[in-house]
Amino acid sequence: MELRRLECFVAVARELHFRRAAESIPMAQSALSNQIKMLEAEVGVPLLNRTTRRVELTPAGEVFLEHATAVLSGVKEASRAATRAHEGEIGHIRVGFGGSATYEFVPRVARTFRAAFPQVRLELHSEMVTRPQTEALLKDQIDVGFLRPPVAAPGLTVEVLRHERLVLAMPERHPDAGRSKVELANMADTDFIAYPGTLGASVYSVMV
């Protein structure tokens, strides 16, 4: 059943006049009449009573009008929803992140995003370091990731959003605790607490 025929029927049902209905679409009156005839043939029952003076809905036509109006309204809403989804106004987005982004950066970005796109649901995947995020992006398991370089993955678009200082935390009794700056190379024989390299943490690759 063609939507155009439903539109023609609804126009006639509202105007109860073929000429005015044809002008409102717009369409030639003869073409409109043919559309109604084909629709009635498709439905299998008369939807309109026509005389030389008036047009009125049959009982079947009244019921059909209710459903036809709902169908057309649903199609319009579906079209609007598809457009909004295409433009990123509704739907959901899967976000991967980990490390220090958990504490300040991602919460701030999430608040800003929700304010701009309240109909988009954020699906947050936390505690994902660089390699797991890269793999998830390539497998279409997340849509965007906040991670640290290096990112060795052809096919991904990477943009720098912020720069962070690498800070070294150590006990007060450590010989270098009083220094304002420490060369990482000088810490080669020092034991570190960090994500293991097997997880693909970028900080580990920088440290070693």
Strands 144-146 and 90-97 turn out to be parallel
Q: What is residue 31's three-state secondary structure? A: helix
The residue ranking higher by pLDDT, 22 or 182, is 22
Burial of residue 102 (number of CB atoms within 10 Å: 0-12, 13-18, 19+): middle
For the segment 137-193, what is each residue's pLDDT rounded down to a tens digit?
999 999 999 988 888 788 898 898 888 777 778 888 888 888 888 887 777 777 777
For the segment 62-90, what is each residue's pLDDT rounded down to a tens digit?
999 999 999 999 999 999 888 888 887 88
Task: Report the pLDDT value the prediction gives residue 22, as an integer from 0 to 100.
Answer: 95
Task: Report the pLDDT value the prediction gives residue 184, as an integer from 0 to 100.
Answer: 75
Task: Report the pLDDT value the prediction gives residue 110, as an integer from 0 to 100.
Answer: 92
And the tokens for 89?
A: 């106004």
Task: Report the pLDDT value the prediction gives residue 192, as an integer from 0 to 100.
Answer: 75
For the segment 105-151, what is each residue's pLDDT rounded down to a tens digit?
899 999 999 898 888 999 999 888 888 999 999 999 999 999 888 88
Is the pTM for the entire model greater than 0.75?
Answer: no
Across the strands, what pairs with 90? 119
DSSP state at residue 171: -
Is 70 exceeded by the pLDDT of residue 197? no
The residue ranking higher by pLDDT, 151 or 14, is 14
179 in Cβ contact with 172 (< 8 Å): no
Which domains, ranges and CATH numbers included, belong to the chain?
3-86 (1.10.10.10), 90-146 (3.40.190.10)
The residue ranking higher by pLDDT, 176 or 5, is 5
Q: How far is it, in rounded angstroms, from Cα 161 to Cα 100? A: 14
206 in Cβ contact with 197 (< 8 Å): no
The residue ranking higher by pLDDT, 170 or 206, is 170
